[in-house]
Amino acid sequence: MKRVPLLIGVACLSGAATCDPPPPTFVQLRTTVFEPRCGNAAACHGDNPARGLDLLIDPYSALVNQVSVADPTQQYVVPGDPDNSLLLAILRGPVDVDDNALDARQMPPGFVLPQETVAEIEAWIAAGAAND
């Protein structure tokens, strides 16, 4: 039984297998990113959601395959396609929007998410943005 972990470790070191960690689940992202930083009651997308984007009640349904209010030509999250997911552009920001009433923005306002957090969101989207 002890040989199996050793063999997996040797395979990873030799390049025979992909040893990248699995993408985070949506539950993990919801708990560590969306609810505490974006969708809690005091945040912009909570009780009185900015631009109608409510990330408190059902962030998955609000983000995945949903057209942006700020730019109706884009979707917030396109499963499997991080490059065309507006959420990532906004997190990396700032982005320009066509609506003159809306500023170019980077989210969340006031600070930049750690690169590792943005990379986790990107990995989740690239893996298909499952609701798990």
In the predicted model, residues of the chain with pLDDT beneath 70 are 1-18, 37, 39-43, 45-49, 96-104
Q: What is the pLDDT of residue 19?
A: 72
In the three-class reduction of DSSP (H, G, I as helix; E, B as strand; rest coil), residue 116 is classed as helix
Question: Measured at the alpha carbon of residue 89, what is the angle toward residues 86 and 94, in degrees to the nearest 5?
Answer: 125
Instruction: Give the pTM.
Output: 0.74
**Under 8 Å between Cβ of 39 and 48:** no
Q: Distance (Å, rounded) from C-alpha 23 to C-alpha 107?
A: 22
Smallest CA-to-CA distance from 32 within 121, 104, 95, 126 is with 121
